């Protein structure tokens, strides 16, 4: 039986396979063995479908974010951040859509849900009320910016290999950095080994830790 949930499930599968380019009403109709009218009835137009798919993935990710016993505000921020990080890693089209949701629909469930979940922890961290928006926005912007580096880039992708091997990329990059003049680029030479061996998730959490430490100093 055709339902909104079934439509979104198939749509997310198409997005995961090939990004926004493969998600058309025609392709979705063929997968579901139904007409475009039925899809429009349950979800709406293509843009509505993309927004609904984004909301479904983000809602599921935040709902699954662990809330450990005796969790501190910092623990909760890290849980939400990692939930979004993992969701965008699994659904590489999500970074672009999530950013668009926050910019285009500030009162939508995705934007409100993320800001509310993080904002409550900003309050619990003791950040002055007049700095809440800045503090929460800094966390949200960092999360989206950091995970977007590992996500599929929509738009102009000239010069970017969408299936490039991560290890090969950093090996090539490290080799190129080693060839730089160490007298003029001492820092780049110092981090060559770190760049080649770093863990994206741990690097992401380091950024969260730096921001949280800064927020505690806003008293």
* Mean pLDDT of all residues in 50-61: 94
Sequential DSSP letters for the chain? ---HHHHHHHHHHHHHHH-GGG--HHHHHHHHTS-HHHHHHHT-SHHHHHHHHHHHHHHHHHHHS---TT--HHHHHHHHHHHHHHHHHHSTTHHHHHHHHHHH-TTSHHHHHHHHHHHHHHHHTT--GGGHHHHHHHHHHHHHHHHHTTSPPPS--TT--TT--HHHHHHHHHHHHHTS-TTT-HHHHHTHHHHHH--HHHHHHHHHHHHHHHHTT--
d(CA 134, CA 130): 9
Whether 82 is covered by a domain: the verdict is: yes
Whether 201 is covered by a domain: the verdict is: yes
* Mean pLDDT of all residues in 25-41: 91
At 112-136, the pLDDT tens digits run 999 999 999 999 999 999 999 999 9
At 137-174, the pLDDT tens digits run 999 999 888 877 766 444 433 344 444 566 787 788 88
136 close to 115: Cβ distance less than 8 angstroms: yes
20 close to 92: Cβ distance less than 8 angstroms: no
Whether 151 is covered by a domain: the verdict is: yes
Whether 37 is covered by a domain: the verdict is: no
Between 169 and 214, residue with greater pLDDT: 214
Domain count for the chain, please give it. Answer: 1
Whether 173 is covered by a domain: the verdict is: yes
- Burial class of 184 by CB neighbour count within 10 A (0 to 12, 13 to 18, 19+): exposed
Supply the pLDDT for residue 42.
92
pTM of this structure: 0.80
Whether 41 is covered by a domain: the verdict is: no
Name the residue range of residue 107's domain: 69-219
Supply the pLDDT for residue 29.
92
Supply the pLDDT for residue 167.
74
Whether 178 is covered by a domain: the verdict is: yes
Supply the pLDDT for residue 201.
87
107 close to 86: Cβ distance less than 8 angstroms: no
At 175-209, the pLDDT tens digits run 888 889 989 999 898 888 887 777 888 889 999 99
d(CA 12, CA 103): 21
Q: What's 134's domain CATH number? A: 1.10.357.10
Whether 208 is covered by a domain: the verdict is: yes
């Amino acid at each position: 039986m055709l339902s909104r949930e079934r439509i979104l499930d198939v749509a997310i599968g198409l997005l995961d396979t090939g990004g926004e380019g493969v998600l058309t009403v025609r392709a979705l109709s063929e997968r579901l063995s139904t007409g475009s009218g039925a899809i429009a009835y349950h979800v709406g137009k293509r843009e509505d479908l993309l927004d609904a798919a984004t909301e479904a993935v983000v809602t599921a990710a935040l709902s699954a974010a662990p809330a450990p016993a005796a969790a501190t505000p910092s623990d909760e921020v890290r849980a939400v951040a990692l939930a979004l990080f993992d969701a965008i890693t699994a659904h590489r089209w999500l970074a672009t859509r999530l950013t668009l949701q926050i910019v285009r629909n500030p009162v939508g469930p995705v934007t409100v849900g993320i800001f509310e979940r993080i904002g409550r922890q900003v309050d619990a961290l003791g950040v002055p009320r007049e700095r809440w928006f800045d503090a929460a926005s800094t966390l949200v912007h960092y999360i989206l910016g950091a995970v977007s580096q590992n996500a599929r880039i929509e738009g102009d992708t000239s010069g970017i290999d969408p299936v490039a091997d991560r290890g090969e990329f950093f090996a090539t990059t490290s080799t190129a950095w080693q060839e730089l003049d160490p007298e003029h680029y001492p820092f780049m030479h110092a981090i060559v080994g770190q760049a080649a061996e770093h863990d994206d998730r741990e690097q992401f959490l380091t950024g969260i830790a730096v921001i949280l430490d800064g927020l505690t100093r806003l008293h």
